[in-house]
Amino acid sequence: MKLMRIGEAGSERPVVRLDEEHYLDVSDEFSDFDERFFGSDGLNRLAEVVAGRTAEGDRVRFAGERIGAPIARPHQILCIGLNYRDHAAETGQRVPAEPILFTKSPNTMVGPNDDVRIPRGSTKTDWEVELGIVIGRRTSYLASPADAAASIAGYVVVNDVSERAFQTERGGQWCKGKSAETFNPCGPWLVTPDELADVGGLDLWLDVNGVRRQSGSTSLMIFDPLFLVHYLSQFLVLEPGDLINTGTPPGVGMGLEPPVFLQAGDIVELGVTGLGVQRQRVVGPR
């Protein structure tokens, strides 16, 4: 299944994408794709609803509605740094022996085509296409990476927007450079694991103003999704609907020679195989 939320910000309703032109509105059955939905066997109930609505009249044509993030604001957004060897190399850092963990504020999440706003005082706002993992059940102290599969509700495209000066030049933790408003575009849809033949072989790409900046594959991850969910479960409790950003391939602005950063008016487009495409306009500070 491909889960979506469409409508104006703050008033999104849950739907299931059927094809490029049609969706199934399930807002009469489910209030939202949120922690309560994922934590109460919502995916299995949703599959039953979808299977029972096969009449042509149930199909609704997309009509230019805004696409929101496919999940409601999560309990937490957890992020993995330097999870691609070639990205670690371009930043001049060592390949980590264990996952590097940092967080983003949950209110950074916006829709896949919403504007990205450069924060006040920013000189180095950067892009990062990533595979996102959505947690499907309360998870703690998993016994093995294999056990993590049952905890994953699905996968999404995310843009882990970052302000590098805030992140690396202002002291303390990375979250200062990661948590400005609009810094986590997500979607357009959540794809359940059964629809992905091999999550370890997905292509990722990102363009800025039509110029290809990032190209990569999840096959080059240092720590794969199952390992990450198992690993994180040893340190904290993962809640239903939580989002894990799994790291970015090379080609970020700070790694270019000379470095290139986002400016108001730029257009960023990005995608992951089978998970859809995002398009953001960059706007200036408030």
**Same domain, residue pair 114 and 182:** yes
Domain that holds residue 45: 2-67
**Same domain, residue pair 102 and 143:** yes
Domain boundary among 27, 48, 67: 67
Beta strand residue intervals within 99-252, DSSP E = 100-104, 109-110, 116-117, 125-126, 129-135, 152-159, 162-163, 184-185, 190-191, 203-208, 211-217, 243-245
- Look at residue 161 in the predicted model and tell me its pLDDT: 98
- Burial label for 248, CB within 10 Å (0-12, 13-18, 19+), is buried
Q: What is the mean pLDDT of residues 132-158?
A: 98
Domain boundary among 67, 85, 108: 67
**Same domain, residue pair 22 and 83:** no
pLDDT higher than threshold 80 for residue 173: no
- Predicted confidence (pLDDT) per residue in 18-42, tens digit: 999 999 999 999 999 999 999 999 9
- Predicted confidence (pLDDT) per residue in 61-97, tens digit: 999 999 999 999 999 999 999 899 877 777 777 888 9
pLDDT higher than threshold 90 for residue 159: yes
Start-end of H helices in the chain: 35-39, 42-52, 85-90, 164-168, 225-233
Residue 19 CA to residue 2 CA, distance in Å, equals 9
User: Nearest 5 degrees, angle CA 104-CA 159-CA 181?
Assistant: 50
Give the distance from CA 78 to its chain's centroid.
10
Taking the CA atoms of residue 195, residue 197, residue 198 and residue 202 in that order, the dihedral angle to the nearest 10 degrees is -70
> Residue 171: pLDDT band by 50, 70, 90 thresholds?
confident
- Predicted confidence (pLDDT) per residue in 191-243, tens digit: 999 999 999 999 999 999 999 999 999 999 999 999 999 999 999 999 999 99
**Same domain, residue pair 46 and 136:** no
Domains held by the chain: number: 2
**Beta pairing partners, 13:** 6
**Same domain, residue pair 36 and 54:** yes
- Look at residue 263 in the predicted model and tell me its pLDDT: 98
Q: What does each C-alpha distance from 263 to 128, 157, 174, 278 come to in angstroms?
A: 15, 22, 21, 18
Domain boundary among 44, 67, 90: 67
Percentage of the chain modeled with pLDDT above 90: 91
**Same domain, residue pair 131 and 176:** yes
The pTM for the full model equals: 0.96
- Look at residue 10 in the predicted model and tell me its pLDDT: 95
User: Nearest 5 degrees, angle CA 158-CA 42-CA 243?
Assistant: 25
CATH number at 135 reads 3.90.850.10
**Same domain, residue pair 189 and 163:** yes
- Predicted confidence (pLDDT) per residue in 89-125, tens digit: 777 778 889 999 999 999 999 999 999 999 999 999 9
